[in-house]
Amino acid sequence: MRMTNKIMQNNTLYNINNNKILQDKLSTQMATQKKLTRPSDDPVIAIRALRLRTSVSELTQFSEKNAKDAEAWLTVTEDALSTVNDVITKMIEQGNKGANKDLEGEQLSIIMEQLKSLRDETYATANVDYAGRYIFTGFRTDTTLSFNDEVESKDLEYSITEQVGINSFDSINYTDQAGVEGLNKGNYAGFTGADNTPNETIEEQDVNNGDIHRLRLSYDDLMDGTVPTLTYMDNAGAEVSLTAASTPVSSTASPDPYQTIMTMNGAGVSGSVYVPETGEILFSDAAYNAIVGTVTTGTEIRVTYSKDEWKEGDLRPEHYFACTSEEIMPDGTSKTIHYNQNLDASGAPRVPKEPINPNGQKIEYDVGYNQTIVINTSAADVFTHAMDRNMDDLDRAVIELRAIETTVNDMKGVLGTLSAGTADYELVRKQLDAATKAGDHIRENVHRMFEGVVTKMQNALDDINVAVTDSGTRSARLDMIGNRLLSQKTTFETLKSENEDASISDVAIKLTSTELSYNAALMASGKIMQTSLINYI
């Protein structure tokens, strides 16, 4: 093959250019400290780099964002539960003080005010939020757990379906005071009691005390234009639907609803009374036994009722029950919303009892590969309607005790000014005996209620401790997951660096070698190109 100068020149330039390209590549690696500048440099390394970078990105999302957000949510939850724990502990202390039989009604009223203040603090804590999201309201993170003061300016009506069982029925102690209510030293002579009983017929034996069966609903101040309906399946499998009463009866009626039920019990009559102010359905012994005799312990009883008056601190029903709200908008139109209806599409009572629990909504965070952790605590596990309702019962009992104590003290003062044996003396003595007997029953009932509050608060404290433990367990698990994520991230970053990063020492050696080769090629080419065919002509 004939080698011409032109061929030599082309080959020399080609080789020098390749050397220059290699030198540029090594210089770029030295500057960027990366093996690749484009995927075509090494497709295998490029594909592996994409996979490793994806893994590092996912681990970064898990460890630096998801896990930290979950940790912050759990921290806020634990702080709120700790606050509630402290408040409930103080309520138990106040309840123990109130259980002292030596305390007078005025002293119990002071304790009652402290208990109500602590109750309000508990429900206020229920509205704690994290980054604008309420932590105890399940998926409805934009809605407070309880109503705030803004609700007073709204026209908001709820139709609520509450699911209970036969064990939800309880009893309330009631003292028929035989007409001494409102008796005082200024009106004893011509006083006619609340039941229109003249003073002359008030006797100690007329004062009666007994327990009344009731179903206490989760709310008071209910709509008095409607009555609740109860629906359940009896033991024969037939659906039973009955109304609580034909018409609502006010707690201030004469005779009052409790006297009405006591009368039914005395006559063996089956009947019930609905008291909208207190949110109670009272049952006579016969009516209660009729229900108990047709259902088993696990049978679900659905109670549907309406409420349109809300005060600050009331728990919003959409977080607890299947319900429908109707709100009157500023333009006069109405807005209807159905809550939790999807949890029970059939609409029929179920056996065994499977209560609707919208607080079963679990907020889960992805904190690792195929790993999730529940960050929220259900409101139903910590905040219940029972605390508020128990305080209402106790408050009414303390008010009743103070009223009867006032009557007893007034009658004692009047009796001290009268002469024994006179008609007025005998009248006042009978009134005093009746009031004293009623006071003894009421005081004993208040004492039992304070003891009951202590027990119920202790149970609530146990539930809170369980919630605290559960939240702490999830926090501990999250810590372990976080540590593992950091370890995995370090491992993948190391693999990513080994795959992509260039060894500076190796690149420097190769670059120096390439520069020497380049300079040598230039020198050799210069000498060879000096001689041409023209020198031999």
Residue 176 above 70 pLDDT?
yes
Distance CA 217, CA 385 (A): 9
Distance CA 387, CA 315 (A): 11
- The residues with which 302 forms a beta bridge, in sequence order, are 163, 231
pTM of the model: 0.80
Identify the burial level of 122 via C-beta atoms within 10 angstroms of its C-beta, where 0-12 means exposed, 13-18 middle and 19 or more buried. buried
Within 10 A of 252 (CB to CB), how many other CB atoms are there?
9
DSSP three-state, residue 340: coil
CA nearest 115: which of 310, 393, 312, 440? 393
Residue type at 47? Answer: I
Question: Which range in 40-54, 92-106, 235-249, 342-356 is most confidently predicted, on average pLDDT?
Answer: 92-106
- 304: part of which helix (H) or strand (E)? strand 301-307
Residue 117 above 90 pLDDT?
yes
DSSP 321: S
Q: Quote the pLDDT of residue 524.
A: 74
Q: Spell out the domain ranges in the chain.
A: 41-146+361-508, 149-311+322-355
Pairing of strands 229-233, 239-243: antiparallel
Pairing of strands 229-233, 301-307: antiparallel
Question: Which range in 147-151, 189-193, 394-398 is most confidently predicted, on average pLDDT?
Answer: 394-398
**Residue 87 confidence class, pLDDT cut points 50, 70, 90:** very high
Establish whether the linkage from the previous residue to 317 is cis, with ω within 30° of 0. Answer: no
If one compares 235 and 284, the residue with the highest pLDDT of the two is 284
Q: Quote the pLDDT of residue 196.
A: 53
| pLDDT single digits (tens) 201-216 | 678 888 899 999 999 9
| CA 320 centroid distance within chain | 9
To the nearest 5 percent, what fractions of the chain are helix, strand and coil? Answer: 55, 15, 30
Identify the burial level of 418 via C-beta atoms within 10 angstroms of its C-beta, where 0-12 means exposed, 13-18 middle and 19 or more buried. middle
Q: Quote the pLDDT of residue 448.
A: 93
Overall average pLDDT of the 9-20 stretch: 77
Of 29-33, 125-129, 273-277, 434-438, least confident by mean pLDDT is 29-33
Of 104-118, 140-154, 199-213, 405-419, least confident by mean pLDDT is 140-154
The domain made up of 41-146+361-508 has a fold known as f41 fragment of flagellin, N-terminal domain (1.20.1330)
Q: Quote the pLDDT of residue 160.
A: 93
Distant-in-sequence, close-in-space partners of 141: CB < 8 Å, separation ≥ 6: 133, 134, 135, 363
Using left for φ > 0, alpha for ψ between -120 and 50, and beta otherwise, residue 33 falls in left
The 3-state secondary structure of 157-176, one letter per residue: EEEEEEEECHHHCEEEEEEE
DSSP 64: I
Distance CA 205, CA 265 (A): 18
Owner of token pair 């229109």? 196
Q: Quote the pLDDT of residue 45.
A: 76
The 3-state secondary structure of 174-209, one letter per residue: EEECCCCCCCCCCCCCCCECCCCCEHHHCCHHHCEE
Pairing of strands 280-283, 208-216: antiparallel
Distance CA 241, CA 302 (A): 9
Overall average pLDDT of the 25-31 stretch: 72
DSSP three-state, residue 50: helix
Residue 359 above 60 pLDDT?
no
Cα-Cα-Cα-Cα torsion 446, 452, 457, 463, nearest 10 degrees, comes to -160
Q: Please report, for the chain, how many H helices and E strands are present, in that order.
A: 9, 14
Distant-in-sequence, close-in-space partners of 171: CB < 8 Å, separation ≥ 6: 211, 212, 213, 214
Distance CA 533, CA 296 (A): 119
Q: Quote the pLDDT of residue 113.
A: 94
- 27: part of which helix (H) or strand (E)? helix 5-32
- 499: part of which helix (H) or strand (E)? helix 423-500
**How many Cα neighbours within 13 Å face the side chain of 48?**
15
Counting residues of the chain whose pLDDT is more than 70, the rounded percentage is 87
First to last CA, the chain: 21
Q: Quote the pLDDT of residue 53.
A: 78
Q: Quote the pLDDT of residue 351.
A: 42
Overall average pLDDT of the 53-60 stretch: 81
DSSP three-state, residue 212: strand
Distance CA 198, CA 177 (A): 13
Pairing of strands 170-176, 272-275: unpaired
The 3-state secondary structure of 87-111, one letter per residue: HHHHHHHHHHHHCCCCCCHHHHHHH
Q: Quote the pLDDT of residue 409.
A: 92
DSSP 420: T
Distance CA 272, CA 284 (A): 6
Distance CA 23, CA 515 (A): 7
Of 223-237, 387-401, 433-447, least confident by mean pLDDT is 223-237
CA nearest 28: which of 38, 18, 15? 38
Overall average pLDDT of the 3-22 stretch: 75
Within 10 A of 113 (CB to CB), how many other CB atoms are there?
13
Overall average pLDDT of the 501-520 stretch: 74
Distance CA 501, CA 54 (A): 17
Phi, psi torsion values for 107, nearest 5 degrees: -65, -40
If one compares 508 and 163, the residue with the highest pLDDT of the two is 163
- The residues with which 157 forms a beta bridge, in sequence order, are 326
Q: Quote the pLDDT of residue 355.
A: 46
Distant-in-sequence, close-in-space partners of 162: CB < 8 Å, separation ≥ 6: 217, 218, 302, 303, 304, 305, 321
Residue 78 above 90 pLDDT?
yes
Overall average pLDDT of the 348-374 stretch: 68
Overall average pLDDT of the 69-96 stretch: 93
DSSP 193: -
